[in-house]
Amino acid sequence: MHGTPNILVISDLHLGEDIGALHPEHMDLALVEQQLTTFIEHHAMHPAGGRPWRLIINGDMVDFLAMKLMPADVGLLTGIDEDDHLYGLGTTAPAALAKVDAVVDRHPEFFAALARFVDAGHYVAIVIGNHDVEFHWKQAQQRLQERLQATLVDTTSLDERLSFHPWFFWEDGVWVEHGHLYDPYCTVEDVLDPFTDDGTDIDPSLSASLMRYVNNHYAPHSGHDEPWSFAAYLGWFVSQGGWRMWDIFGAFWQMTLRILRSAGRLASPSKLRQASRSKRLIRLRRLANRFQLDPDAVNSVDELTHVPVVIDRTRVLRSLMLDRLALMALAGFAVVALLLMSSWPVFAVVSALIAIGLWRAHLHLSATTAPHVNTAQLTKVAREIRKRMAAKIVVFGHTHEPVAQQEDGGWTFNTGSWVPDGADNGQAFTHLRIVRGAKDRLHATLRRWTKGRSIPFVPGATQTG
């Protein structure tokens, strides 16, 4: 095999999400691992056009966020705090190493297949997403390399053929990134330096905090479900009853305090923020140089990313729907006061007015709260990236919704997810295949892996460019 590699893109594998899960029987990760293993082994043995493959795993290869790994489970006694004992290991470097070992042990067939893929002369690029943010730690990257090296025949090939990417991967007009930087609930302030000021932890996103403190222990819904409404959360909370409601409230309160403390630290004075921005520009320039890109163009794409809600306490409170909870409490006090102080006709009329006002306030707050990123928004972002980077193809993940859309002479793809839903509606196991034709022209097709073969996926399409 020789020449510039052809490209395979997959994303959102969420390996390890069943470790410590409340209901692992609902997760068919054995099927996911079997599908991934056959997919990788097939392409390791079948290069296209005599070229090697470059497998880009575009974020959330591992679901560190969903792992409920307790210190006692792994014998971890250093580098942990009280929250680690109560809610499971967080995002420190020692915790990340324990999680890497746990997921490799949980999915040995997949990681062995990945090592054989590299041994066969192919390449692997791992783009970091929001569920595997711990891969920002160099120690975590090195631990995965060590675990893969244990099964390699040629151990020297790994340094040359395995790479990690904190934001995006670029090659010959193909821009690949996970997409969570455009989601204010999933991003952090600086994806190129996501660490706390003392360098001992990773700054939390709002969704990561909710997963660790609430969802992993009480499982109101899957981490892949659509966000719930305020009424849905309130109904679920009340349905838990008794002491479980108190436990959930305690976890939610602890999470809120921790996020608010973090928001106070991140909302630094203007001089500090200006210095931080200057350092970020230096990091952006280094990243641009890595791919031989125009630093100004990369900086212009960086300006498209969302500001995380966790840097603003008011946005934190609104995002956690505590503003609506406060409205309900005030309305309740008002109704009780009216009941004690007024006649029945006055009570009925004023209570109705309070209910109407409460509903209108809820609608206003819901409309003005930042939404989670969706496919339509990412499509708009892709359009801007193609224009600013002169990209032919832009590839996202994150939303778990496969997309293939041609527009203005370029293509936007989303590679969906390898996590099947309960009914497996044919949306899982999707991937993007980019093969170089004559004069290195790119032929891109969205496809699905099924029954040991890769088939075109509707709405997949083939692009020549």
Over residues 212-271, the pLDDT tens digits come to 888 887 775 555 556 666 667 777 777 777 777 888 888 888 888 888 877 655 555 554
Sheet of 403-407: strand order equals 168-171, 174-177, 393-396, 410-414, 403-407
Lowest mean pLDDT among 251-260, 338-347, 402-411: 338-347
What is the pTM for the complete model shown? 0.87
Tell me the percentage of the chain whose pLDDT exceeds 90. 44
Judge whether residue 316 has pLDDT over 70: yes
User: Mean of the pLDDT values across residues 314-335?
Assistant: 69
Same domain for 108 and 90: yes
- Please report whether residue 1 resides in a domain: no
Judge whether residue 464 has pLDDT over 50: no
Same domain for 321 and 440: no
The answer to whether the Cα torsion of 397, 399, 405, 407 is positive or negative is: negative
Confidence of residue 363 (pLDDT cuts 50, 70, 90): low
Judge whether residue 202 has pLDDT over 80: yes
Same domain for 302 and 271: yes
Using the structure block, give the residue that is written with the tokens 């003005």. Answer: 368
Q: Residue 264's pLDDT is what?
A: 59
Confidence of residue 460 (pLDDT cuts 50, 70, 90): very low
Q: Determine the residue type at 178.
A: H
- Please report whether residue 60 resides in a domain: yes
Same domain for 99 and 15: yes
Same domain for 208 and 353: no
Question: Which tokens is 78 given?
Answer: 């250093």
Same domain for 229 and 94: yes
Same domain for 92 and 82: yes
Question: Which tokens is 24 given?
Answer: 């692992």
Judge whether residue 54 has pLDDT over 50: yes
Q: Which of 64-68, 203-207, 391-395, 408-412 has the highest mean pLDDT?
A: 391-395
Q: Which of 364-368, 385-389, 437-441 has the highest mean pLDDT?
A: 385-389
Same domain for 70 and 52: yes
Tell me the percentage of the chain whose pLDDT exceeds 70. 77
- Please report whether residue 54 resides in a domain: yes
Of 324, 352, 368, the residue at which a domain comes to its end is: 368
Lowest mean pLDDT among 213-217, 342-346, 397-401: 342-346
Same domain for 138 and 250: yes
Give the count of domains, the chain: 2
Which among 371, 88, 419, 448 is positioned nearest to 224, based on CA atoms?
A: 419
Q: How far is CA 132 from the centre of its chain?
A: 7
Same domain for 453 and 412: yes
Domain containing 226 equals: 6-314+374-464
Same domain for 191 and 239: yes
Of 302, 333, 368, the residue at which a domain comes to its end is: 368
More confident residue, 66 or 220: 66
Of 368, 391, 407, the residue at which a domain comes to its end is: 368
Same domain for 450 and 350: no
